[in-house]
Amino acid sequence: MSTLEYGFWEIVIEKQGRLKLPINLLKSLPETERQHFWITRGFGDNIALWTETAFRKQMNFLNSLDMSVIRNQKYRNNFLCNMSSVECDAQDRFVLPKLLMQRYEIDKEVVLLLDNGKIEIWNAAKYYEKFNMSPTEFNEANEEMHSTHQLNNFENF
């Protein structure tokens, strides 16, 4: 059974877009969620790789949207665009769809971010450009988040 719901890995993609999932990532997933995945456009500048359970939750959400609202239709259609199902081979590898690799500029070095059954696949350089913080920035953000969180919790009483 899964003990990690979150994780971070830096990996190198093999030839022809073949991605080998790190053993620590696979071990963090329930055994029934380690072979079959769904690939979609990510939210932001990444490809999303979903476990079956996480994907079903997302599809239940999409199916609950009012399709008479154009924005909902557009969102749902964009989520489903270029979606595919993949099975890992005996070495825990699968091939990323070429169209998604091109769209998100995924080449050799990538970052994988596990978040509750959804794995974000980032071009490593883009990930670090977007999210890198100096130790001072990280500390300041930590202080701000904690003080805001405490203030919000206090107001709820």
Q: pLDDT tens across 94-126, in order?
A: 999 999 999 999 989 999 999 888 999 999 999
CA distances from 73 to 61, 67, 68, 79, 100 (A): 13, 5, 8, 10, 21
Residues 6+ apart with CB under 8 A from 70: none
CA distance 38 to 66: 24
Burial of 153 (0-12, 13-18, 19+ CB in 10 A): exposed
Q: Give mean pLDDT, residues 139-152.
A: 82
Confidence of residue 152 (pLDDT cuts 50, 70, 90): low
- At residue 1, does pLDDT exceed 50? no
User: How many CA atoms does the CB half-sphere of 2 hold within 13 Å?
Assistant: 18
Which CATH superfamily does the domain covering 6-129 fall into?
Answer: Transcriptional regulator MraZ domain (3.40.1550.20)
**pTM of the complete model:** 0.85
Q: pLDDT tens across 66-76, in order?
A: 999 999 999 99
Q: pLDDT tens across 3-49, in order?
A: 557 889 999 999 889 999 999 989 888 889 999 999 999 988 999 99
